[in-house]
Amino acid sequence: MISRSAYRVETGALLRLAAPIVFTQLSLTFMGFADTIMVGHVSSAALAAVAIGNIYHWALLVFGQGILFALDPLVSQAYGAGDRQAVSDWFYRGLTVAIILSAIFYVAFQFSAPILIACGQPLEIVPMASAFVRANALGVPAFFIFVALRQTLQSMSITRPLVIAAIIGNIANLILNYLLIFGHGGFPAMGAAGAGLSTSLSRYLMMFVLVIGAREGLRDVLQKAPRLLEWAPYRRLLSIGLPTGIQIGLEVWAFMTVSLIMGTLGTLALGSHQIALQLASLSYMIPLGIGAAAATRVGNAIGRGDPTAARIAATTSLFVGAIIMLSFAFLFAAIPAALSRMFTDDAEVIRVAVVLLPIAALFQIFDATQAVACGILRGLADTRAAAIINLIGYWVLALPIGYALAFRANMGPTGLWWGLTLGLALVSVLLVARVRKMLR
């Protein structure tokens, strides 16, 4: 029988680790949040272009990021076991994979225009969206190296450098947005492309700040000669990372597919959807950060051979995530108009967004549960089941139902969001069931 004091102690430890991770996640998301708000005041077409550009941009990046999330269980379990050589090896292997991914994804970013046209997006915004994507491509290497560093540091419960890098990166992004989007300080007014270039430059700054800040925490790791030429460890990393990339991708791609469908309904529907999605994505960073902390806590416990501690960490993180997201659900339902006005002054866009936000409020709770459950499974190095569950929940249930409600039931944007909510509910239930099975 596990005592209440054990859960109280774990709650304190989880929150101390999760708080800076959540702050970092929120800061990284705020960069896109700031881009959207500032571009939205250029024109509704620019807002729609950034929305579409972000779809293509993140559709690729989330898969590569998911592969690097394999460092969560590999580093956290090695660190929990006290094996510093293994920590060093996984860190350097992660950097190697990050560099390879950078080259692949940079090339893929150059083909956004024909793909967006083939997906039926409005022709008048494709050039702006493509320019935004190409500008973002410049920051791809910095992004992947940052992720490899971040996952390694989080797995060792080193978070202070992440917070510093996130703060500096956001300040730089706001300043660069002001200069490059609107053309202040002698710079040309680049609009959507300026937002993409600002993000890329800020990512390099964040990467350099993190490298400098992480040197002390990684001193023992960096002093050990890495073993990089063995294929078997890379196969192990990919066996965890590829399902994680697919699992995260299936979820994000489902939301992006909905955004593409919204684009076929017109600029008004797409703009309002982007507002609701940005707000939901911003609040989602909190359970995502708690899930990352859960991956570390569970992975460390498994590494030191303490399954009871792993069960306590898993239960605590699920409870904390659900409680926090209840407050965001209330906020979305209570003041949708005020939240929408942060993005645009267009009354028609606000009118549609106000209808979508209460639906988003409902799935906040399901979203929190699945995000934390995925983190727990990652800490256990169990990633394939989550990929299968996301395939069923989003692609077998959510999208077909959402499409039917939107077009056959004539519910439009709200039908698509109800489909997402139903799929998310199924995913959260199945993932929690998987966590319970694994921890038994």
Would you say residue 145 has pLDDT above 90? yes
pLDDT band at 96 (very low <50, low <70, confident <90, very high): very high
pLDDT in tens, 350-363: 888 888 888 888 88
User: For the range 1-8, what are the long-range contacts, defined as Cβ-Cβ under 8 Å and sequence gap of 24 or more?
Assistant: 2/308, 2/311, 2/312, 6/312, 7/312, 7/315, 7/316
Residue 10 · residue 316 · CB < 8 Å: yes
Question: And the tokens for 92?
Answer: 């350097």
SS3 158: coil
> Looking at per-residue confidence, does 316 or 344 come out higher?
316
- 106-115, 131-140, 198-207, 418-427: least confidently modelled range: 106-115
pLDDT in tens, 257-266: 887 788 777 7
Would you say residue 220 has pLDDT above 90? no
pLDDT band at 429 (very low <50, low <70, confident <90, very high): very high
- CA–CA gap between residue 224 and residue 92 (Å, rounded): 10
pLDDT in tens, 256-292: 788 778 877 777 787 788 788 878 877 888 888 899 9
Query: Of the ranges 109-118, 238-247, 344-353, 411-420, which is most confident?
Result: 238-247
Mean pLDDT of 359-376: 88
CA separation (Å) from 315 to 46, 55, 79, 186? 44, 34, 22, 55
Mean pLDDT of 60-82: 91
pLDDT band at 394 (very low <50, low <70, confident <90, very high): very high
Percentage, residues of the chain above pLDDT 90: 41
pLDDT band at 52 (very low <50, low <70, confident <90, very high): confident
By residue count, the chain amounts to 440
Question: And the tokens for 126?
Answer: 């494709």
Question: And the tokens for 237?
Answer: 């990393």
List the helix and strand counts (H, then E) for the chain.
Answer: 18, 0
Question: Which DSSP category does 157 fall into?
Answer: T
Those residues whose C-beta lies under 8 Å from the C-beta of residue 380, and which sit 6 or more positions away, are 73, 298, 299, 302, 310, 438, 439
pLDDT value at residue 1 = 63
SS3 226: coil
Kindly report the number of other CB atoms within 10 A of residue 108's CB atom. 17
Question: Which DSSP category does 230 fall into?
Answer: -
Question: And the tokens for 271?
Answer: 């703009």
Greatest Cα pair distance in the chain: 67
Mean pLDDT of 180-200: 87
Mean pLDDT of 11-33: 85
Residue 62 · residue 325 · CB < 8 Å: no
pLDDT value at residue 6 = 83
pLDDT value at residue 376 = 94
- CA–CA gap between residue 170 and residue 274 (Å, rounded): 21
Q: Which ranges of 41-125 would DSSP assign to H, the alpha helix?
A: 44-68, 71-80, 84-108, 112-118
CA dihedral 67, 365, 314, 24 (to 10 degrees): 50
- CA–CA gap between residue 140 and residue 207 (Å, rounded): 11
pLDDT value at residue 225 = 67
- CA–CA gap between residue 290 and residue 311 (Å, rounded): 15
Would you say residue 138 has pLDDT above 90? yes
Domain range annotation of the chain: 4-439
